[in-house]
Amino acid sequence: MIGITESVQPLLALLCPALGSTLILIYGKRPNVRETWTLLASLFQFLIVLSMVPTILDGKRIVCHLFTMFPGIDFGFHVDAFGLLFALTASSLWILVSIYSIGYMRALKEHAQTRFYFCFAIAILGAVGVALSGNLVTMYIFYEILTVSTYPLVAHEQSSEALFAGRKYLVYLLTGGCFLLGAVALTYSIAGTTDFRPGGILTGTMASRSMFIILFILFIIGFMKAAYMPFHSWLPTAMVAPTPVSALLHAVAVVKAGVFGVVRTVAYIYGVDLMQELGLGILLASFAGFTMIVASLFAIAQDNLKRRLAYSTISQLAYIVFGVALLSPMGITGAMLHIPFHGFMKITLFLCAGSILVASGKKNISEMAGIGRAMPVTMLAFTVGALGMCGLPPACGFISKWYLGLGTLETGHLLFLAVLLISSLLDVVYFFPILYAAFFGSPEGVKSSLEKEGGIKEAPLAMVVPLSITALFSILFCFPNPVTDIILRLVRMAVSGGGGG
């Protein structure tokens, strides 16, 4: 029997970005104070989320009930191992992205910085709210808060291109939100509840097979933030946003909320048994496998670095969906591990892309020959992230992809193993030419007017330090240490359904 602990910790974790965003607005004309509140809000939120770890590892769930919205539906929080894993990822990366943002926004003298930090805080509120939600209704509310709060960030530059990207972003994700609302309502009408429960809340006797399939389609379209094909084009278009926003979209909050929702649906609404009975696992894995390979092919064709990373994200997110769709313990383990591991590796890559832009003004890969010699720290960190995306040691992507490979063997579907291997090979095809050009290419590609002023150098320290830390953790996750132990224990508990998972 899983124990229940009532606590205000989840509410306090959400009050940090809520209060922080208010103080950011109040002190908007005093940059140093405004950014101090940003850093303090991110730090305190992470510490509160971290304080929940001992309770969850002790085999309990943390519950915070606020009020009842409808019979059988509470607005409140129900923290389990899987939700805590996502909350830890988002809150820890918020600290590093906040430090990086200060260096980035000041170096480029960006406009509307108060709006930027305010919306960023609200977006983290939405992401952590999604992670800690106890049911679909509460999750839906925070999911839409995340959508609305990130629109001004995508359209930050306010150019015609940025405004178009913002409109496209809203059209896609608000449309997805409508489908998700329909899925939530239909789930409630079938099961009489929307609570997340290990093993699922739906049973085969509650509705017809066709009804369950329709419901599943509604969920998949509803979680469009996961950016699987053909619902992906909003993500590369959104690359017009500042680099810290790209990091938020790809590693910290937005797309992670999408794949988190898919995993919740499969494991906590339908359950493995019903998914197998309906044959939905094979369908979802095929869908994800297609995205893994085709997105990688699109990535190869991109010269703009951030766009190549965007298509890489689409492919890597599909690994998470693919893993949970295998419906095997190893596959689901790999999917859950890839959420934090991909977060740290991909944010490293985007932070490096932003540092290259600030230091050299370069956006395209074809212009970056030899830049590894001018910016060795940045490009070494980029190498770590790239190796992880390819599933190669010493980065942690090797661990999650290893579990995904074992998951395909557990299912006995060797075709899925082939898809996984082909996709990983394509990762090498689009990442390694960047590394080769950066370290072994002709330095002519990085000569510019900047060299007249002393040459291209590393970006400001406030940018280099965060990307170095995320790269370091991308390696440390591969080795035994207290942080890795916490992640592995949370994942094992979530997969087994024990201890709040």
Closest C-alpha among 140, 133, 278, 284 to residue 207:
278
Residue 119 · residue 130 · CB < 8 Å: no
What DSSP element (H or E) covers 60? strand 60-70
Per-residue pLDDT of the chain (501 residues; tens, 9 = 90+): 468 999 999 999 999 999 999 999 999 999 999 999 999 999 999 999 999 999 999 999 999 999 998 888 899 999 999 999 999 999 999 999 999 999 999 999 899 999 999 999 999 999 999 999 999 999 999 999 999 999 999 999 999 999 999 999 999 999 999 999 999 999 999 999 999 999 999 998 999 999 999 999 999 999 999 999 999 999 999 999 898 888 888 777 899 999 999 999 999 999 999 999 999 999 999 999 999 999 999 999 999 999 999 999 999 999 999 999 999 999 999 999 999 999 999 999 999 999 999 999 999 999 999 999 999 999 999 999 999 999 999 999 999 999 999 999 999 889 999 999 999 999 999 999 999 999 998 765 455 434 444 568 899 999 999 999 999 999 999 999 999 999 999 999 999 874 333
SS3 of residue 6 by DSSP: strand
**How high is the pLDDT of residue 450?**
43
Which of 101-139 are b and which e, b meaning 16 or more Cβ less than 10 Å from the residue's Cβ? bbbbbbbeeeeebbebbbbbbbbbbbbbbbbbbbbbbbb
How is residue 18 written in tokens?
Answer: 């809520």
Q: Which residue has the tokens 């090797």?
A: 398
Per-residue pLDDT, 250: 73
Total Cβ atoms within 10 A of residue 449: 7
Task: Please report the pLDDT score of residue 451 as a whole number.
Answer: 47
Q: Does the global pTM surpass 0.75?
A: yes
Confidence at residue 444, expressed as pLDDT on a 0 to 100 scale: 58
Residues 6+ apart with CB under 8 A from 462: 99, 100, 102, 103
For residue range 465-479, list pLDDT tens digits in order: 999 999 999 999 999
Say whether the peptide bond before residue 230 is cis (omega within 30 degrees of 0): yes
> What residue type is 477 in one-letter code?
F
CB 128 within 8 A of CB 90: yes
Closest CA to 261 of 179, 167, 191: 179
Model pLDDT, residue 346: 95
8-state DSSP, 448? S
Q: Give the Cα separation of 349 and 252 in Å (integer).
A: 13
**Residue 236 phi, psi dihedral angles, 5° rounding:** -60, -35
CA max distance for the chain: 74
